[in-house]
Structure 1
């Protein structure tokens, strides 16, 4: 009896909104603790805090600053809500798929490094930049050669060969660009 292999785990999409909310709460909490400590030590509230609270309490809802702050807060809240509801992309990519039970997975950055190492074995390539997207690998290779079309074909073949070798799940195509260095 085999246990089923779980799917690769999505990266949590709530990490950015949670981090922003945590930083906001940390800042407000630190300010509150500082104000309370100041009041306990000196017996009075800081003058700047008193004037700020008086200015806030005297501001009307048709004030330009109140509307700007409310608009910024609404946009930030909406962005955090959208980021919390949308699922994150896969953090890892399944590679070397076969009929054996289990999965082999690497991070997208590691897959890019594997493809980059394959490309840097080409003689006329000085360096390469590889980015792995949802269904595509973007390659930018740098060379000193004048004839970029012939090298473009070689790099495309090497990239496709690397993709056939590693068989990344969901990544079916590549885009190659050759840049000439001076």
Structure 2
């Protein structure tokens, strides 16, 4: 008896909240180290730090400045929580789905490379840039020809053929744009 096959894992993208939190902690740690170093060397707190601490200590919770800062901190915290929970685009895409247990998957970058290789074979194409998005493949074709309509149609047909051959799960269409280059 076989063990059940696990599906591709979709992990949330946590890089932006992590970077923001790391920068905030780095700034707070640097400030604290500088204040502690000044206190150890001179025996007193820096003048600016003393006046700031006095001003913060004398502020009431109902003052406008405290409420504004609390609101900004709350909004930043909420945004960081939402960004941590928002699912990121999975790095791998399942291709060639069938009834056989197991999955075949490629990275989005490799899928874009496979589509680019197919579109580059079209006559009149100078170069191709392909990006695999969440639900579509974006294809940008550069051509030196004056009449771009036949090249666009042939590139769209090749991109659709490549997607039909690979059958990537979740990617249903391609968008082909063409530009004239000299």
Q: TM-score, structure 2 length as denominator?
A: 0.85
Structure 2 gaps, min length 5: none
Q: CA RMSD in A?
A: 2.2
Number of residue equivalences: 181
Q: Is the 8 A contact 1:127 1:143 kept in 2?
A: yes
SS at match of 2:74: helix
Could you tell which deviates more after superposition, 67-76 or 122-131? Answer: 67-76
Aligned position for 1:25: 25
Aligned position for 2:137: 137
Could you tell which deviates more after superposition, 147-156 or 108-117? Answer: 108-117
Structure 1 gaps, min length 5: none
1:1-23 CA-to-partner distances (Å, cap 9, x unmatched) read 21211111113233322332232
CA distance in 1, matches of 2:180, 2:128: 12
Aligned position for 1:108: 108
Residue 72 of structure 2 corresponds to residue 75 of structure 1: no
Aligned position for 1:96: 96
Q: TM-score, structure 1 length as denominator?
A: 0.85
Aligned position for 2:16: 16
CA distance in 2, matches of 1:101, 1:13: 28
Judging changes above 3 Å, is the alpha-carbon distance between structure 1 residues 53 and 166 closer, same or farther for their aligned structure 2 residues? same
1:2-51 CA-to-partner distances (Å, cap 9, x unmatched) read 12111111132333223322321222122212211221232222223223
Aligned position for 1:153: 153
Query: Hey, which bits of structure 1, 4+ residues long, moved more than 6 A?
Result: none
Aligned position for 1:48: 48
1:78-112 CA-to-partner distances (Å, cap 9, x unmatched) read 21122233333322101233444322222222211
CA distance in 1, matches of 2:8, 2:167: 16
